[in-house]
Amino acid sequence: MNRDKLPKSPLRIRSLQVLLWRYFALLAILIVVAVALVCAGILSNAYSVQSRERITAVGTGLTMYIDGKTEHFKGLITGEMNESAFTDGVDVFLCAADGEPLIYTTEPGEDWESTFGELSAMADGWSPLRATVYRSESMLNYVSCVTFDFGQCYLLVRYPMYILTESVNSMQLYILIIAIVAIIVSFVIAYMLAQRISRPIRNLSDTATRMAKGDYSAQFASAEFEEIAMLSDSLNYARDEIKKSDDFQKELLANVSHDLRTPLTMIKAYASMVQEISGNDPQKRNKHLQVIIDEADRLTGLVNDILNASKVSAGLSELNKKVFNLTEFLYGIMNKFDYLQETSGYKFFIDIDPDMYTLADEEKIYQVLYNLISNAVNYTGADKCVYVSLKDCPEQGRIKFAVRDTGKGISEEEREHIWDRYYRSKDAHARPVKGTGLGLNIVKIILQAHNFDFGVQSEEGKGSTFYVDFPEVSSTPADSPV
């Protein structure tokens, strides 16, 4: 789809997909790194706690075993110390108070002297119950004081830290590998997720571009996300409305140019006739001039209709409400239809109660009543009868207007649509009616703005009755609610 021709937004454009992908990926990295750090921390802490507990258990066991024994038990003690060294991976030393190693599981190294200095400083009094656990450079140490062969001795249990560090390091390496794999997987998932979210938006945009080029068959596809589905529904609705408006404009243009051409041709023809033929014959000239005047009136009426339609389509201007005599007002409108009675054989049956006042926008109510009565004239049956009534209902504080025709009526299904903008019945009526499908929509918008009750009752084959309920007010404006 070529988007180069589309107007560009002045804002810096960034791809939603890339943005989503970046944010999702960043979030995933943060989570994975945080989890990895927490795991590594907990792990190394758990290891060091565990090692302390283990060395304490080994040391306490040996202290209890050795304390109070004599040289006679040296063999047993050595065995016990070796077993601990083997099973728990520790080095055990029993040394005299002056530092001389008595029994040990590993040969004391050259640094024994400094080791002894350290342990004698750390030892906590000559009681086997008062042992100390401390960390020296690369060792975890347990030291206690025991009585061996009637002399005071030190018991030292050492656990090399490198074993602990190695275990922790290898576990941290596993965590690192898992974290890297998790980050890669989360990148892929984030990409797929970002694509899944942005794809329907891209589709909508492609469809909108097609529509902008005039393809109204373009269907905005619904998506699995509620918000996108709502958006595509709204766009489909907007497309239908734009299509209707477009069709209407085309049709209107065709109708209007046709309708304008006929009177203009007549005006030109009759003006030429006046100029060339009838100019000196007053009787003929007046007749021809009258045709010109009538055609000019037709033109004015046509232009007014178009202006009205576009005004109401663009939204209703403010209501200019005032109290007026509805009875007189309706008589005034009915007078406009008199010529039909004389020229086309229409019969109007009028039943209007005297002197009723209402509060409304007079100009707009004129449009409402005129449209409803015109429709009754246009769609009434072959008998050409139209019944107009305006009745006072004081108990309800209402004035009921109704206009009835004897036409073919409106089916229940159609009744739902007749108030829609541009709706025109597909059925052929008794007489060909040139309409725009705007009349009833204008009526609806005006009456809804007034908050008046209105509607239609119709029986197929018998005719339709359109009604409007006006509020009844007193004749003096001061008494009327505004």
* Interface contacts to ligand ADP, rule CB under 6 A: 375-376, 379, 405, 407, 410, 418, 423-425, 435-441, 464
Cβ proximity to ligand ADP, 11 vs 428, nearer residue: 428
Q: How far is the CB of 21 from ligand ADP (least distance, A)?
A: 52
User: What residues contact residue 160 under an 8 Å CB cut-off, 6+ apart?
Assistant: 89, 91, 138, 139
Q: Dihedral of the CA atoms 189, 192, 196, 199 (nearest 10)?
A: 150
User: What is the H or E stretch that residue 455 is in?
Assistant: strand 453-459
Cβ proximity to ligand ADP, 59 vs 437, nearer residue: 437
Q: How far is the CB of 451 from ligand ADP (least distance, A)?
A: 21
Cβ proximity to ligand ADP, 379 vs 401, nearer residue: 379
Cβ proximity to ligand ADP, 157 vs 403, nearer residue: 403
Question: Which residue, 144, 154, 167, is CA-closest to 89?
Answer: 167
Query: Could you give the CA distance from residue 164 to residue 147 in angstroms, rounded to a whole number?
Result: 31
Alpha helices in 67-141 (DSSP H): 74-88, 112-122
Query: Could you give the CA distance from residue 441 to residue 424 in angstroms, rounded to a whole number?
Result: 11
Cβ proximity to ligand ADP, 323 vs 418, nearer residue: 418
Query: Could you give the CA distance from residue 419 to residue 409 in angstroms, rounded to a whole number?
Result: 15
How many angstroms separate the Cα of 273 from the Cα of each of 269, 280, 290? Answer: 6, 11, 13
For every residue of 182-246, which 3-state class applies, written as one string? HHHHHHHHHHHHHHHHHHHHHHHHHHHHHHHCCCCCCCCCCCCCHHHHHHHHHHHHHHHHHHHHH
Query: Could you give the CA distance from residue 346 to residue 287 in angstroms, rounded to a whole number?
Result: 26
Cβ proximity to ligand ADP, 73 vs 467, nearer residue: 467
Cβ proximity to ligand ADP, 356 vs 377, nearer residue: 377
Q: How far is the CB of 12 from ligand ADP (least distance, A)?
A: 48
Cβ proximity to ligand ADP, 40 vs 438, nearer residue: 438
Query: Could you give the CA distance from residue 386 to residue 372 in angstroms, rounded to a whole number?
Result: 11
Cβ proximity to ligand ADP, 47 vs 423, nearer residue: 423
Cβ proximity to ligand ADP, 255 vs 480, nearer residue: 255
Reading the block at residue 15, the tokens are 């791809």
Query: Could you give the CA distance from residue 386 to residue 457 in angstroms, rounded to a whole number?
Result: 15
Q: Which residue is nearest to ligand ADP (CB)?
A: 435
The sign one gets for the Cα dihedral 109, 110, 115, 120 is: positive
Do residues 102 and 116 make contact, with C-beta atoms less than 8 angstroms apart? no
Cβ proximity to ligand ADP, 239 vs 421, nearer residue: 421
Q: How far is the CB of 367 from ligand ADP (least distance, A)?
A: 11
Q: How far is the CB of 444 from ligand ADP (least distance, A)?
A: 9
Q: How far is the CB of 276 from ligand ADP (least distance, A)?
A: 39
Q: How far is the CB of 391 from ligand ADP (least distance, A)?
A: 19
Q: Dihedral of the CA atoms 61, 63, 69, 73 (nearest 10)?
A: 60
Do residues 320 and 435 make contact, with C-beta atoms less than 8 angstroms apart? no
Q: How far is the CB of 387 from ligand ADP (least distance, A)?
A: 11
Question: Which residue, 57, 226, 203, is CA-closest to 131?
Answer: 57
